[in-house]
Amino acid sequence: MKEDDFQYAIENTQVILAPEQKIATFGTTSFRFYLISELMDRVNEVRVRDGKIHADRPQILTPEHFSRLLLEGFGEKAKRYANQLREHAHNMAVLRYGFQFRKTDVTEQMFRDPIESVIARTKSHVQHRDEPLSAIIQGVDEAWEVCLLKFTIDMIERSSGGNIGDFRKRGLI
């Protein structure tokens, strides 16, 4: 894939239905996804990938630990900068999110319908089954994993404020 392909996939990723919950602060969260994409150069041929993403609980990284992570493979100037960070960032904390994506959880179905119809049926299916931790994502078929990664990054951004608040309430940061 070229850089343009990545950018195209990112720009053409649309969350049709977001999970009702965010990433849990104290525990693992599993999201089910339905990634819907139209096949390139084929009219009304749509693929639906159904699978799960597991988000590990966010971890607090102290300046000490964070600076060690930063230093892997870096030289002396980077080490000095990391030491400065460690000395002057007593109140700094970084959250680390971990995702596991297992392709074995993914199934695929093909449909010969307009993409709008497939999206509407999938949305109705999710709402009827009451799946609050499900997401419907419209993306690019060739770069569907990039679209899924974009979704996970968006989930981290959506969840981080609440996660930090939860850690603060418990006096962890």
pLDDT in tens, 70-124: 555 666 666 666 666 666 655 556 666 665 555 557 889 999 999 999 999 999 9
Going by the DSSP 8-state scheme, the letter that residue 104 receives in this structure is: G
d(CA 28, CA 53): 10
Pairing of strands 46-61, 94-101: antiparallel
Give the per-residue pLDDT at 92: 59
- Higher-confidence position of 46 and 74: 46
Quote the pLDDT of residue 70. 53
Residue 4 has pLDDT above 70, yes or no: yes
Give me the percent of the chain exceeding a pLDDT of 90. Answer: 27
Q: Which of 8, 26, 12, 11 is nearest to 162 (CA)?
A: 26
Rg of the chain, C-alpha, whole Å: 20
- pLDDT on residue 119: 96
Instruction: Tell me which amino acid residue 153 is.
Output: I
Say if residues 34 and 144 touch (Cβ distance below 8 Å): no
Predicted model pTM: 0.74
